[in-house]
Structure 1
Amino acid sequence: MKPAGLMNKEHFSKDPAGALEQLMEAYGTLIMRTAYFYTGDRHLAEDISQEVFLRAYRNWTSFRGNSSVKTWLTAIAVNVCRDKMGVRMFAEQPTDFSRIDRGRTISAQDEALARLEKSEVLQHLLRLPLPYQEALYLYYYLDLSTREIAEATSVPEGTVRNRLHRAREAMAREIKKEEAINDRQGS
């Protein structure tokens, strides 16, 4: 699989069918991970991923290329996730990684999801309010700039920077709190 960098529209086929194949190869895992991040449900994430690429296929000829393809697909994914999740997205329930279906052969997507599950940082991230989770995920996991996050989430860039700042502070507090608890338990 090719790295999913910030490629422009010119790097892809002008034909929507050809572009779809290239988009899925370059960004399939990224979109699946993003959908899983928002939903916490592997099957729903698969459905959302399909919907994202279907929308990309339908809108390929009208995509002007004002942003990178990665940013454009991420914006579609964020919007589809928000549409599918609705109010449930804003519940303060952390993602339940035990819902991942482990009964099948491990694919690249399954492997990526398993790595997310094991990440201690991600566990801290999931304790934060959703806007902070979203900002940190898009910035650190998808390597989007604050401008690209603003485009993908339809919020001002200043708001994105503020959320990143506050999220980093909250993460530091969470980690220090856990360290203090571990120190007390170890004493």
Structure 2
Amino acid sequence: MIPLKPLGKTNEQVLKEWISNHHDLVFRTAFYYVKNKSTAEDIAQEVFVKSYEKLDSFRGDATPSTWLYRITINTCKDYLKSWTYRKVLYTSTFFENRSSHSVENQVLEQFQNDELLQTVMALPTKYREVIVLYYFEEMKTSEIATLLQLKESTIRVRIARGIEKLRKSLKGGDHEWITLTKN
């Protein structure tokens, strides 16, 4: 059992610490799912609000980052099933006209232009999530299985199938990072 919060810390202090330590992780995970920077920012905020509301019910069976991953994934899946996502058409022109020169935005724009990331982002969700967690977040298959509540063999199959789809999409398939011998 991992202690949730050190003695003497308030929920607000724990939340500030979590935001400081895990915001990038939550934002990246949301972005990998929804493929939209503004929506990912909204989801990240929603995740931290949810975690704050449920902070007292956190049992400590997992690390805070794993718990936040799970909340993020569930929030993204709920969003992707929502009426808003399915029925409302978003245009990117409003967001493109906003000027922002933060380091985070510059890095995100660099990633958005990267062919490999674009190809990964085009994968179906079940393959994209395991590829992102395995290669970009460097998680082990056992950790991914626990996080996604799937069998480890299912994770390995999805990674293999995702890689095969990437190879077909990337013309030639000889990208060095695409290997099953990582872990």
Partner of 2:160: 165
Is the CA contact (8 Å cut-off) linking 1:71 and 1:151 kept in structure 2?
Answer: no
Is the CA contact (8 Å cut-off) linking 2:166 and 2:173 kept in structure 1?
Answer: no
Q: Does 1:34 align with 2:29?
A: yes
1:73-119: CA deviation from partner (whole Å, max 9, x where unpaired)? 1110000000011179xx9xxxx988854623323432342232132
Relative to structure 1, the CA distance from residue 64 to residue 127 in structure 2 (aligned partners, 3 Å threshold; closer, same or farther) is same
1:117 to 95, 112, 136: 112
**Structure 1, unpaired ranges of 5+:** 1-7, 180-187
Q: Does 1:73 align with 2:72?
A: no
SS at match of 1:159: helix
Return the structure number with greater helix share.
1
Partner of 1:185: none
CA distance in 2, matches of 1:158, 1:100: 40
CA distance in 1, matches of 2:121, 2:100: 27
State the TM-score, normalizing by the size of structure 2. Answer: 0.76
CA distance in 2, matches of 1:47, 1:172: 33
Relative to structure 1, the CA distance from residue 127 to residue 47 in structure 2 (aligned partners, 3 Å threshold; closer, same or farther) is closer
Q: Give the superposition deviation at 1:133.
A: 0.8
Q: Give the superposition deviation at 1:70.
A: 1.5
Partner of 2:48: 53
SS at match of 1:144: coil
**Structure 2, unpaired ranges of 5+:** 175-183
Relative to structure 1, the CA distance from residue 101 to residue 61 in structure 2 (aligned partners, 3 Å threshold; closer, same or farther) is farther
Give the aligned residue type for 2:39: L
**Aligned sequence identity (%):** 30
Q: Does 1:154 align with 2:149?
A: yes
Aligned length: 166
Is the CA contact (8 Å cut-off) linking 1:135 and 1:149 kept in structure 2?
Answer: yes
State the TM-score, normalizing by the size of structure 1. Answer: 0.74
Relative to structure 1, the CA distance from residue 26 to residue 111 in structure 2 (aligned partners, 3 Å threshold; closer, same or farther) is farther
CA distance in 2, matches of 1:154, 1:105: 38
